[in-house]
Amino acid sequence: MDNSNYTQQWVNPVHKIGRGTLLTACVTTTFPILYLYLVHGIFPPVDWLKNDVLLIVASFGFIWLIEPISFYPALGLSGTYLAFLTGNIGTTKLPAAAIAQDLAKVEPGSREAEVVSTLAIIGATTTTTVFICVGVICGSFLLSVLPGPAVDALKSYTVPAVFGALMVTFAIKYPKVIPVAIGVPLMLKLFAANLIPGYWHIIFAIGATVAAAFVLYRSDIKQPNLSDAK
C-alpha cells in the first residue's frame, strides 16, 4: 500500500474516529457534575476550583505533554487514541503493545507494528475490563481472605514489576540506550531529589534517552556509509 492509500484508508479514519471518541468522552464526563449542579444545586466554591486546577496543572502539566510523545513510538497512531481513552497506559497498554510487537517480530514504527500494537491494546482493554468487573464483584472478598503481607506486597510491587519487565524487554532490543535511560533518573534520584521536582526527573530522563537514541541512530547510519566507501 502506497503512502496516499495508507493515509486515506488508515490515517484519516483513525484521526476522525479517535478525535470523535475522545471529545465525546470529555463531554460525557461532565454529565455527573452537571447533574449535581442542575438537579441538586451542588457546586464547589470557586476558590477551591482555582486552587485544585493550579495544583493539578503544576503536578501533571508536563506529563500531559510528555506521555503522548514518549508513548507514541510504541503505541502507534490508533493505539495512542485507544490507550489514552481507556487509561492504564504504563501498566497494561504499553507493555501489551511492546511485547506483541516483539513476539510478532515487526519493526517498531512500521505499519505492521501499528496494526499489531492496535490489536494488542484492544486485547489488553478487553482483558482489563473483564478483570475490573471481576475485581469489583470479588475484589473486596479476595483481599479480605489474603494475609496482610500479601496485600501489602501486591500494592507495593505490582507496578514496579510491570515496569521492570517492560524495561528488560526494551533492554534486550536496545541495550546501548538502557544505561542512559536508567542512569540519568538514578543519578537525579540520588543527588538531586531535594533540588529538582519529581516531574522534572521524567523530563530529563526522556530528553537524555531520546538524545542517546538519536546519537546511536546517526552513528549506525554513518557506519554502513563508511564501510561502503571503503
Q: Give the pLDDT of residue 28.
A: 93
Q: How far is residue 44's CA from residue 47's CA, in Å, rounded to a whole number? A: 8
Residue 78 CB coordination number (10 Å): 22
Cell digits of residue 183: 542512569
Per-residue model confidence as pLDDT tens for the chain (230 residues): 667 787 888 888 889 999 999 999 989 999 998 998 888 888 888 888 888 888 777 666 777 777 787 788 788 888 889 888 888 787 788 888 888 888 888 887 788 888 888 899 999 888 888 877 877 777 777 777 778 888 888 778 877 787 777 777 777 777 888 888 888 888 888 888 778 777 677 778 878 888 888 888 777 766 655 445 45
Name 116's Cβ contacts closer than 8 Å, sequence gap at least 6: 97, 100, 101, 104, 106
Is pTM beyond 0.75? Reply is no
What DSSP character marks residue 176?
T
Q: What is the pLDDT of residue 109?
A: 75
Q: What is the pLDDT of residue 224?
A: 55
- Per-position b or e across 139-170, b if 16+ CB within 10 A of its CB: eeeeeeeeeeeeeeeeeeeeeeeeeeebeeeb
Position 31 scores a pLDDT of 92
Which pLDDT value is given to residue 1? 60
